[in-house]
């Protein structure tokens, strides 16, 4: 129990120190709205904790703070440009702000998720500044400078709090995960060699893909922690690719042995008879595998088993370097520089457009309501709408995030009312008593945030926002209730837009992902050396993970995608005869496959798909004509048959 309680209490102290430090510093520097610095410290500190479900690792808060600074400066510049260009046309000015927020949300849906926070923030920061300075446009530069100052102060306080309260290092978790990864790799290969059930293999490779992806995510957290982990970062990056290669080779071994059980020798199979107890046992089995493979003729050794053994040996070498963080040897350097990793291209373009449309629609509705009614707190309502829609869209569950804000903002009304009407007047303008009251509140909220309690993040942000902290305090109850209702109504409008503007891109994105798997398998046919050095496995497994998230119960899609990844790996290793005519044919096939992926209509997609099947048939004839070995013609034939058999999945 103490192992769980201590990190939660430590994080609560960290959150309390960050918020109170930002607030006191804001008062000391006589900022216009010191609550913004306190809110910045709250969001920057509590956001990673809510995502992690506990105390965030060292570096996560610093990284989020750095992104917030970038997003704030971009948003401030955009706001100044919009105001300068359209100061005499307020409606056009608000319209441009809504368009800017929508564009930023669209863009944030296409970039890497860990960097999308900056773009989302840039979108609603511009709207905050324009809305705040709408009554006095000449003061917009002053508002922008104050906004940047408040953000920087809040972030500095969050970073200082993170450093003071013993940040949690991820290195020990990485060391444990790497050791477990090697045991899981051997367990998967053992099931495949011994022809286990499809259910066991599906469960084993699914868990292994998830753990490999999680380990790669830890690599980013490790680099946020300190620059001294540069060598570990390089090794983890290489281990990620090596692990994916081992998964692919193990699954291909299973498929081969299903059709030809005698392809693996009894000596090799005997080494997979018993499970490995620890990493030392895996090391011993791999050594025995290398000895047996070396003593056998290459034609008698299953290529996938030989490749898996080599990859496992490289993985053990990398694992030792990761755990010791020692200098990189010449052997390791050859492993690290062996291939060029290709980054994945987003397949969620339609989803990104829907996200941008949702943000634009929600903020436009808020602005129209403000212009039509003249409600004094409608500006706060517009700001909350922009914040919710910009931040919620990039999360895996936007509606869940919006619901968190709704519950939090509704809870903030009674909690904030009690603090504003009863507790704060009793402090008698004492900064110490004010900090004591906010500190107790923040401490308990910090503990609940680490438990992922629904509504706690929204309650923290909403309460700080409606408590218009100033020196001296002015207790205007009517204005307070107006602001509280404004932010609650804003979250409801944001949720309503999410429900009305539905995202129907799921099936389209799934089909695009499958077509990209197909295209990658076909494009692996090449005689160019530089193309063979390209490593597409991380990108392919990233897309496979997207498929797992989007279709959690569709096992047929997983198996088809995995077979295409296996086909890609086999095509990449195939020794295609070097020939100008074949090279020209490779280019022709790749272009047709690209047309299948990019085709907008079903008619065009069907036309190019049938053309691709025809070209693959002609390509097989060319391979026979040029006396290509069976190791080349057989994978091409299997790929063509697969594309012919499952063409409804690529076209539907």
Q: pLDDT by residue (tens digit) across 611-623?
A: 888 888 888 888 8
Residue 546 is encoded by which pair of tokens? 């997207």
**Mean pLDDT of the 378-389 span:** 81
Neighbour count for residue 453 (Cβ, 10 Å): 15
The residue-averaged pLDDT of 109-130 equals 80
Going by C-alpha positions, the residue among 41, 47, 32 that lies closest to residue 154 is: 41
Cβ atoms of 250 and 205 within 8 Å: the answer is: yes
Query: Which one-letter DSSP state was computed for residue 534?
Result: E
Decide if 517 contacts 533 (C-beta within 8 A). Answer: no
Measured CA to CA, the distance from residue 490 to residue 500 in angstroms comes to 15
What's the residue count for the chain?
Answer: 652
Residue 393 pLDDT greater than 80, yes or no = no
For residue 618, report the phi and psi dihedrals to the nearest 5 degrees: -65, -35
Check pLDDT > 50 for residue 303: yes
* Mean pLDDT, rounded, of the chain: 82
- pLDDT attached to residue 417: 87
Confidence (pLDDT) at 339: 65
Mean pLDDT of 596-621: 86
Instruction: Tell me which of 199-203, 204-208, 209-213, 427-431 is least confident.
Output: 427-431
Closest by CA position to 58, among listed 164, 157, 177, 212: 164
- What would the pLDDT profile of 314-356 be if each residue is shown by its tens digit? 889 888 888 888 888 777 777 777 666 777 777 778 888 888 8
Average pLDDT over residues 538-545: 83
Contacts of 217 (CB under 8 A, 6+ apart): none
Token pair of 235 as six digits: 């090794």
**DSSP 8-state code for residue 340:** E
pLDDT bin (cut points 50, 70, 90) of residue 99 is: very high
Question: pLDDT tens-digit profile of 37-80?
Answer: 888 888 888 877 776 666 666 667 777 888 888 888 898 899 88
Could you tell me if residue 325 is left (phi over 0), alpha (psi between -120 and 50 degrees) or otherwise beta?
left
Q: For 583-609, what is the mean pLDDT?
A: 85
Residue 16 CA to residue 437 CA, distance in Å, equals: 11
Compute CA distances 374 → 138, 367, 379, whole Å. 21, 10, 9
Q: Does the pLDDT at position 312 exceed 60?
A: yes
Under 8 Å CB-to-CB from 222, ≥6 apart: which residues? 59, 170, 171, 174, 229, 232, 233, 236
Q: Residue 55 has what pLDDT?
A: 64
Mean pLDDT of 511-520: 84
User: What's the rounded mean pLDDT across residues 121-142?
Assistant: 81
HEC states along 284-318? Answer: HHHHHHHHHHHHCCHHHCCHHHHHHHHHHHHHHHH
pLDDT value at residue 100: 92
SS3 at position 535: strand
**What are the residue ranges spanned by the domains of the chain?**
2-168+347-500, 171-341, 508-651
Nearest to 338 by CA among 234, 238, 236, 212: 238
Give the model's pLDDT for residue 58: 64
User: What is residue 113's predicted lDDT score, i.e. its pLDDT?
Assistant: 65
State residue 342 phi and psi, 5-degree precision.
-90, 130
* Strand, coil or helix: 367: helix
Give the Cα separation of 251 and 563 in Å (integer): 9
List strand residue ranges (DSSP E) for 536-584, in order. Answer: none
Number of H helices, E strands in the chain: 28, 2
Which of 505, 402, 393, 347 has the alpha carbon at shortest distance from 102?
393
> Is 2 a residue whose pLDDT tops 60?
no
173 phi, psi to nearest 5 deg: -65, -35
Half-sphere exposure of 9 (CA within 13 A, CB side): 6
Query: Mean pLDDT, to the nearest integer, of 576-580?
Result: 77
Q: What is the pLDDT of residues 239-271, one digit of tens each?
A: 888 888 889 888 888 888 887 778 788 888 888
Quickly state the pLDDT bin for 548 (edges 50, 70, 90).
Answer: confident
Q: Two tokens at 376? A: 């004094």
What is the pLDDT averaged over residues 167-184?
84
């Amino acid at each position: 129990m103490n192992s769980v309680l201590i990190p939660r209490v430590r994080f609560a102290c960290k959150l309390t120190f960050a918020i109170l430090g930002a607030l006191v510093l804001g008062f000391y520097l006589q900022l216009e709205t010191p609550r913004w610095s306190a809110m910045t410290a709250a969001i920057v500190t509590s956001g990673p904790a809510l995502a992690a479900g506990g105390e965030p690792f060292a570096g996560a808060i610093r990284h989020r703070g750095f992104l917030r600074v970038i997003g704030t400066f971009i948003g401030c510049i955009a706001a100044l440009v919009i105001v300068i260009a359209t100061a005499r046309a307020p409606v056009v000015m608000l319209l441009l702000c809504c368009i800017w927020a929508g564009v930023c949300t669209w863009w944030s849906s296409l970039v890497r998720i860990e960097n999308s926070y900056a773009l989302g923030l840039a979108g609603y920061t511009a709207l905050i500044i324009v809305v705040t300075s709408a009554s006095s446009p000449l003061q917009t530069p002053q508002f922008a400078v104050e906004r940047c100052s408040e953000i920087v102060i809040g972030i500095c306080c969050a970073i200082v709090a993170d450093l003071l309260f013993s940040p949690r290092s991820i290195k020990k978790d990485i060391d444990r995960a790497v050791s477990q990864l090697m045991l899981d790799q051997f367990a998967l290969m053992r099931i495949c060699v011994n022809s286990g059930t499809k259910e066991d293999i599906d469960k084993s490779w699914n868990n292994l893909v998830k753990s490999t992806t999680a380990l790669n995510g830890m690599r980013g957290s490790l680099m946020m922690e300190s620059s001294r982990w540069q060598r570990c970062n390089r090794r983890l990056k290489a281990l990620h690719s090596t692990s994916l290669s081992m998964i692919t080779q193990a699954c291909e071994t299973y498929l081969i042995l299903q059709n030809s059980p005698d392809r693996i020798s009894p000596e090799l199979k005997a080494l997979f008879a018993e499970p490995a107890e620890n990493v030392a046992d895996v090391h011993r089995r791999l050594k025995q595998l290398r000895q047996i493979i070396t003593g056998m003729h290459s034609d008698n050794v299953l290529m996938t088993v030989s490749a898996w053994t080599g990859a496992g040996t490289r993985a053990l070498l990398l694992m030792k370097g990761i755990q010791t963080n020692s200098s990189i040897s010449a052997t390791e350097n050859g492993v690290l520089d062996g291939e060029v990793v290709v980054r994945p291209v987003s397949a969620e373009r339609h989803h990104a457009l829907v996200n941008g449309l949702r943000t634009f629609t929600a903020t436009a509705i808020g602005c129209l309501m403000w212009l039509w009614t003249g409600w004094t707190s409608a500006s706060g309502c517009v700001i909350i709408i922009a914040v919710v829609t910009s931040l919620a869209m990039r999360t895996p569950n936007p509606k869940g995030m919006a619901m968190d804000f709704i519950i939090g903002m509704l809870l903030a009304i009674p909690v904030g009312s009690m603090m504003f009407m009863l507790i704060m007047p009793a402090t008698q303008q004492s900064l110490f008593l004010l900090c004591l009251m906010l500190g107790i509140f923040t401490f308990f909220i910090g503990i609940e945030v680490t438990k992922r309690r629904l509504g706690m993040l929204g309650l923290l942000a909403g309460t700080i926002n409606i408590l218009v902290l100033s020196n001296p305090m002015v207790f205007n109850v009517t204005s307070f209730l107006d602001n509280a209702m404004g932010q609650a109504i804003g979250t409801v409008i944001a949720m309503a837009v999410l429900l009305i503007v539905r995202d129907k891109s799921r099936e389209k994105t799934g089909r695009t992902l499958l077509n990209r798997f197909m295209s990658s398998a076909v494009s692996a046919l090449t005689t160019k050396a530089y193309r063979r050095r390209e490593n597409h496995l991380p990108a392919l497994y990233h897309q496979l993970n997207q498929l797992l998230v989007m279709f959690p119960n569709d096992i047929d899609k997983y198996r088809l995608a995995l077979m295409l990844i296996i086909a890609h790996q086999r095509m990449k290793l195939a020794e295609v005869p070097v020939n100008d005519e074949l090279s020209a044919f490779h280019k022709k096939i790749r272009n047709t496959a690209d047309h299948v992926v990019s085709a907008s209509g079903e008619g065009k997609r069907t036309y190019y798909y049938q053309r691709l099947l025809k070209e693959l048939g002609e390509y097989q004839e060319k391979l026979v004509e040029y006396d290509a070995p069976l190791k080349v013609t057989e994978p091409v034939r299997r790929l063509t048959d697969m594309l012919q058999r499952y063409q409804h999945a690529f076209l539907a």
